[in-house]
Amino acid sequence: MKKADVKVGGEYYANVTNKKVVVRIDSTNTAGGWNATNLTTNKKVRIKTAQRLLGKARATTSASAAGETRAPKRVAKKTNGADAGSVAATAGDKKLSCIEAALKVLGETEETMNAQEMIAAMTDAGYWTSPGGKTPHATLYSAILRELSKGEDSRFIKVERGRFAARA
């Protein structure tokens, strides 16, 4: 955004601690920038430059322009077991995690594999694809090593250096 586009009392999307949040500009700061309120946490923040602002969040209403506070958003509580039937029905539709897909690939083949081979097999079978990381094989290798630290409860067996199999 440009400095000229920023209005006191307006609500904007802003990068605050590497998160996109809605802020309300309260006043201009004497040292430059603006004093604002993070509407998610109701904490005061300072926006130093207009580059931190990503755009208007919503049109300013007369109530918010007058300084009235809004009621906080209500978040639905998670229920444990109340909707067990509906949760069980959708559990089959969930995507597999990287380590679950690796376990499935190792279970289908009788040979041992290294992390790069598992990533290739998971992608080919359509079980899992990398969300855009540069080294998914390193992430998988690390996850398998964490799993191996469980000892006998581990779902993987380290056959030799860098090669794994599914525990029978």
**Other Cβ atoms within 10 Å of 47 Cβ, number:** 21
Q: Looking at the domain covering 10-56, what would its CATH class be? A: mainly beta
The pLDDT assigned to 15 comes to: 82
21/164: higher pLDDT: 164
Closest CA to 5 of 25, 31, 32: 25
Please check whether residue 50 is in contact with residue 12, taking contact to mean a CB–CB distance below 8 angstroms.
no
Q: Model confidence at 140, in pLDDT bands (50, 70, 90)?
A: very high
Write out pLDDT tens, residues 81-113: 544 444 444 455 688 999 999 999 999 998 999
The pLDDT assigned to 65 comes to: 46
43-47 sheet: strands from edge to edge:
43-47, 34-38, 19-28, 11-16, 53-58
Strands 19-28 and 11-16: antiparallel
pTM for the full predicted model = 0.47
The pLDDT assigned to 101 comes to: 95
Write out pLDDT tens, residues 118-131: 999 999 999 999 98
Residues in the chain: 168
Closest CA to 102 of 134, 133, 147, 135: 147
Q: Model confidence at 20, in pLDDT bands (50, 70, 90)?
A: confident
